[in-house]
Amino acid sequence: MSVDTTKVAHSNGTAAAAAAPSTKIGQLGVWADERVGLASLAKKNIRKVFPDHWSFMLGEIALWSFVVLLITGIFLTLWFTPSMSEIVYEGSYDQLRGVYMTEAMASTLNISFDVRGGLLMRQMHHWAAMIFIGSMMVHLMRVYFTGAFRKPREINWVIGSLLLLIGTIEGFTGYSLPDDLLSGTGVRAADGFMKAAPIVGTWMSFFVFGGEFPGEIFIQRFYILHVLLLPGILLALIAAHMMLVMYHKHTQWPGPGRTNDNVVGYPLLPVYISKMGGFFFSVFGIIALMGGLLTINPMWKYGPYDPSKVTAGSQPDWYMGWPDGALRIIPGWESVIFGYTISWNILLPILILPIAFWALVTAMPFVEAAITGDKREHHLLQRPRNAPTRTALMVAFMTFYGLMWAAGGNDLIAIKFDSSINNITYFLRAAVFIGPVIAFIVTRRWCISLQRHDNEVLLHGRETGVVERSVDGGYSERHEALSADAAFTLTERDREDNLVLSDVEIAKLKGKDRRRAKRAAWWYGYNVQKPTPAELEAAQHHGHHDEIEGSDNAH
Q: Which residues pair with 342 in a beta bridge?
A: 335
Res 480: pLDDT: 83
User: Any alpha helices (H) in 336-420, and if so which ranges?
Assistant: 344-346, 353-362, 364-372, 388-407, 410-416
Res 490: pLDDT: 82
pLDDT-derived band of residue 181, with 50, 70 and 90 as boundaries? Answer: very high
Q: Determine how many CB atoms are found less than 10 A away from the CB of residue 163.
A: 24
Provide the b/e sequence for 403-429 (b: ≥16 CB within 10 Å): bbbbbbbbeeebeeeeeeeeebbebbe
All structural domains of the chain, each given as residue ranges with its CATH number in brackets, are: 2-37 (no CATH), 49-324+337-382 (1.20.810.10)
Res 554: pLDDT: 45
pLDDT-derived band of residue 198, with 50, 70 and 90 as boundaries? Answer: confident
Mean pLDDT of the chain: 87
Which of 292 and 22 is assigned the larger pLDDT? 292
Res 551: pLDDT: 45
Res 63: pLDDT: 95
Res 553: pLDDT: 47
pLDDT tens string 264-308: 888 888 888 889 999 999 999 999 999 999 999 999 999 999 888
**Percent of the chain's residues with pLDDT above 90:** 53
Which of 453 and 32 is assigned the larger pLDDT? 453
Res 2: pLDDT: 55
**Is pLDDT above 70 for 18?**
no
**Is pLDDT above 90 for 32?**
no
**Is pLDDT above 90 for 38?**
no
pLDDT tens string 141-178: 999 999 999 999 999 999 999 999 999 999 999 989 99
Average confidence (pLDDT) over 108-136:
96
Contact assessment for residue 455 and residue 539, using Cβ atoms and an 8 Å cutoff: no
In degrees, rounded to 5, the angle at the alpha carbon of residue 246 between the alpha carbons of residues 152 and 253 is: 65
Give the global pTM.
Answer: 0.87
Contact assessment for residue 302 and residue 180, using Cβ atoms and an 8 Å cutoff: yes
Average confidence (pLDDT) over 35-60:
80
Res 386: pLDDT: 92
Q: What letter represents residue 196's amino acid?
A: A
Q: Specify the range with the lowest mean pLDDT, choosing from 223-227, 296-300, 347-351, 374-378.
A: 374-378
Res 542: pLDDT: 62
- Cβ burial of 98 (10 Å; 0-12, 13-18, 19+) is exposed
pLDDT tens string 457-498: 888 888 888 888 888 888 887 888 888 888 888 888 877 766
Res 477: pLDDT: 79
**Is pLDDT above 50 for 555?**
no
Res 449: pLDDT: 94
**Is pLDDT above 70 for 544?**
no
pLDDT tens string 364-417: 999 999 888 888 899 999 999 999 999 999 999 999 999 999 999 898 899 999
Res 524: pLDDT: 84
pLDDT-derived band of residue 514, with 50, 70 and 90 as boundaries? Answer: confident
Residues 6+ apart with CB under 8 A from 305: 102, 105, 179, 180, 181, 183, 184, 185, 187, 214
Average confidence (pLDDT) over 339-366:
92
Q: Name the DSSP class of 365.
A: H
**Is pLDDT above 60 for 432?**
yes
Res 552: pLDDT: 46
Res 548: pLDDT: 42
d(CA 379, CA 262): 9
**Residue 158 to residues 183, 232, 243, 348, 372: CA-CA distances in angstroms?**
30, 18, 14, 24, 20
**Percent of the chain's residues with pLDDT above 70:** 91
